[in-house]
A and B are shown apart, each in its own frame.
Chain A
Amino acid sequence: MSATTSDPRLAPTRQAPKQRMQLSWTDPRFRNLVWQALVLAIIVAVIWYLVGNTRHNLEARHIATGFGFLESTSGIPIGEQMIPYTSGASTYLRALTEGVLNTLKVAIVGVILSTILGTIIGVGRLSPNWLLAKITAVYVEVIRDIPVLLQLLFWYVLLQGLPAPKASIRLGSAVFLSNRGIKVPLLVWEDAHTWALVAFAVAIVLTFLWRRRVHRQRDLTGTAPKVWPVALALLIGLPVIVWAIFGAPLTIDMPQLHGFNFSGGGTITPEYGALTLGLVIYTSAFIAEIVRSGIQAVAQGQWEASQALGLHRGQTLNLVVLPQALRVIIPPMTSEYLSLAKNSSLAVAIGYQDIVSIASTILNQTGQAIEGIAIIMLVYLTISLSISLFMNWYNAHIALVGR
């Protein structure tokens, strides 16, 4: 080799030399490859066996596969209806949809309420107020130590133990607690209300625009009007005006006691009430601990630096502590939301007709076990992935830059 071409510093693009793998057990790269190939082979073999075995058994028992049964008429009575459904006339597909909606109704309301309750209790545990701190501590310690199924049964038995409609407990003039559930007044929905709702949505947009304007003005001049009075006027005033323009209809469907039962009004069934209440109370204890640990994870020095600069406690919490605490809170909070959504399947124990309950009944009636279980799995997978995706997006949105 001549000296002019062999100097590596003169070569314009010099690449890292390729390391060749030795076909020897002492080369870790070779070892890794062998292990990975082995694991892959085992997985393929297990799937092969399961599929083959299932097909063989289905054929032996003369069970047809496929989702055709979804179009057949369902004979399942459903008490908890979100969409119109008639037993003996509607299809299995509609029954399943009812189940999914019922599961979502518990999961969404549960996530919102347990977040609010959990945050209040978590902040309460950090309060300098001795009584509040102790009460919330006892709440957390007691609630999270009792199995959730037991709690659901407790609330269900409690709600079932309420007096019969004739002797129902009245809260105010129009709310009745009885063993038929909680009866509440219901607004008779008319077009005016739909338009009022649209006006409310418009008001939200206007409030955001107003807030942005105020912030811009504050950036320019240092002082600016408060956001909330105008926001309040917009959010309340606009829907009320629209509602008034449409004639201000206001018919309220009041629950009435007739003989042994109620007519009219809306109902929160004992099953739904017990399931939601039980899940919210159970999950909120865990969320409280997550919120508490998140706030405590922010160093004491952050409070001190902020206060030394003259910021008040509220400003410190909002601008300095919470933005940092959220980063610690969000990942475990996602797990709690996922647990709540999946724990809603305990509905079966107290007779609430969620997706598991309805799919199991269909499975019994049609014998389509594999399809039934697949549908349940698909529903939970979709719900869980949606929660995960949303929370991961939110987490990335607030992620700490520069760490």
Chain B
Amino acid sequence: MMDAGRHPNIRLLTNSELVGLEGEAGDFKAQVRRHPRYVSEELCTGCGVCGRNCPVEVLSEFDAGVGKRKAVYVPFPQAVPNIYILDKENCTECGICVEKCPRDAIDLDDPGKDLELKVGSVIVATGFEVFDPTVVKAYGFGLYDNVVTSMQMERLLNASGPTQGHILRPSDGKVPRKIGFVQCVGTRGEAGLQYCSRFCCMNSIKDCMLVKQHAPEIEELKIFYIDIRAAGKGFEEFYQRSLEMPELTYIRGRPSKILEDPQTKDLVVQVEDGEAGKINDFQLDMVVLSSGAVANKTNQKLAEILGIEREETGFFTSGEETGSPLESTKEGIYLCGCASGINDISDSVAQGSGAAAAAEKHLAKLRIEEKKEEIPELDVSGPPRIGVFVCHCGINIAGVLDIDALKKYAETLPDVVFVRDSLFLCSDDGQRRLQDMIKKKKLNRVVAAACTPRTHEPIFRESCARIGLNPYLFEMVNVRDQCSWVHTEEPQEATEKAKDLIRMGVAKARLLEPLYKQSIKIDRKVLVIGGGISGMRAALDLDAQGFQVTLIEKEGKLGGSLNDIHRIYPQDLSASELVETMMQKIKNSKIEVLTEIEITDIKGFIGNFEVFTSKGGLKVGTIVLAIGGELYEPEGDFGYGKFKNVITNLDLERMIRDNQGDIIIDGEKPTTVAFIQCVGSRDLEKNPACSRFCCPTTIKQALELKKRGTNVVVFHRDMRTVGTRAEEHYRKAREMGVRFLKYSPEMKPQVVGEGKASGVELLEPALNRNLTLPVDAVVLACGMIPNEVETGRLQGILKVPRGADGFFMERHAKLGPVETTVEGVFVCGTAQGPKDISDSIAQGSAAAAKVATFICRDTIELEPTTSIVDADMCRGCGKCVRVCEFLAPKLVEKSPGIFVAEINQALCKGCGTCASWCPTGAITAKHFTDRQVESMIETFLTEAV
């Protein structure tokens, strides 16, 4: 978020709206209306004087109405840009702010502005709105004080929210002991919305865990649900962990009514127990309504302006039907996030990147020429002049630590010439002042006592670099995440600790040295490994931007698992047609396709990979892993292998693909077919993950069988029909008479029969007896597992790590779904985890966008925090060579028989392990040198406050 506000290629137009669009893809003209802000963006520094003096208080939208704000305000503390806005509706025009503003930035007559922009393409990422639960009258939202929405709960849980993270009951401000979460409010058939909004189940589970952390005295947590839809990478495992919480119980059923005791304001949730035929009452202190997501009301107007179509649900129509989930109905306009339907965060991020790849092709020839800004470097020679900046982080730090004491203490430290505090040091304003002070006070080392370097060091470093201070002369001291937040109850000890940490930071800062980035040439060619749907998509998107791509596939033909699929759910799209269309596009492109090829080895590093294959070698700069996953082989499960009429969902898929008429299983047309869900998935022993696509696949296949006159029974644990129209198809299947029976993992259904499967036996919990359903065939819905051979091999060759589930691990579960920890290597599709076709396509596009960020230049810059060898001190023992996994150090023969180690700076990852093993001290781990680390130890232990 901060990055978007700072990037020179991004122009932020907040408080603005698109009012018109003309032209066509590649050459649009967009009219943008900048609504009056009444506070000048150029003049406002975000100092907050206006807000403090404003006499008007209204409910804050950001805090979902549970907190307050002024009429002139910033929406939330870390807002980007950190500039105030005046809310004319609530403003009394008293004029106090105008008068108080030190920079005369407020103009109550601001007329706003109209802009006309030349754009090549448009990305629609307008998000969703939360369903208004007042519509569901039976739940009493708006009438009962203690019924809140999940967004309100989110703000109550947030440490920077209106209650500082204390969960307090709205009616009396007391900590609730019993909280209930009602799922599917507004969605899945309620209030006219058919679909499932995908993220609410996980959100409630997360909230329960957070409630437990924030209020350990909580006695009861209840989640009222229909199906728990933990369908996403790592989600099922998260759900399983929640089952270990003794306070949390899951209650199946949609509450019919919530009642309030008018005196105590306590609540009663009534849930019908369908099987026992009675209504159960649950006494609770507070109820959270898990409101679903709905399309923005403004979508209709926006659709008219853009000239694109919408669905009945209000979301924009995407090309999902034709295998292009990110395309709108108009060329040059792309959809991502929740524009075309509901997505969770990581899918939204992948779609955002994917839409970027699509949008880029209209502008690939118009990339910005980058002039390296020559910023004169500040002179840092001479003794250290250290500036210490202490951040309040609002009350996050200042609420616990004694900032004045820290400042006074810092002033006493050696070489510290300047100390200052700041409300938010990371804000635009805070950074600007930091820069001013560096220049004014001639600082040559900077220490910030603030949050964590893991998120904020890059921001500070860049601010230093922009004014010519070498960014490696900056040191960060973590007094928030590792101090004020974790020693909240011991403010004195915490302040003492912060003093020590600042002293240690200053000690290191005194020894910091300027470091310089090297750049290396990069090869712009791309290798995509795997010719399935996501690999093809990645290759096509890169080709459309004019990059040279080689697509390799180990089988004889492109298409991957699509070749086994008949029609793609939830649309009625033929898989073979999709493969055919994409193959045709590839044929018409410049993509080099190599089939029946195997990779034997890959050497090198980002920008310079050398790939060895069974058909010769090639050189590329970046690699996309799109090797796909595999379906679980259910050998021995549920009679598979023993009975010929027990088949997998893939077997059935092939039959449906090859057969327009009756489906014949084991020589007969079955009258009744049973599906068993979660075979080889959601299984703590075999594979704890949920594969996400099997439930919708079963629905699709059940509908196919039903059309052919076959009875269908589905044995499931939760029907997880997430994704576009999947829930609607689930409803249709029920209406058509498909039976759904729930089973628990402890009581799995048994396939019984002699010679062939003739029935499925299941314990009927309400009757507590076994029920046997006669069937003619059983279909096992097998989950997805990693392609063990290929994944393992590429992990060995490229060092891309794999997660606990065996799939390639992404750099960040939410924010980096297609990147890996190995620079220049990306992952997409089912190589990263089980997913459906649309999500695989979106990830393919996302990988293309990420590749483009590298290969749109000829060179890349290398991090200078690597290790280097002092050749004079090296005696060539080779220990460094042995401990490095990245093959960076090499022994080089300097003169006959004399070997000296050299470290390839492009391969070195900067872990510093070689330095710790070097017996002669010849290796220096830059920025973490022995002397720097030891000086921190020394000052901590010998110079106690």
Partners in one complex: no
Binding site for B on A (CB under 8 A): none
**B→A interface (CB under 8 Å):** none
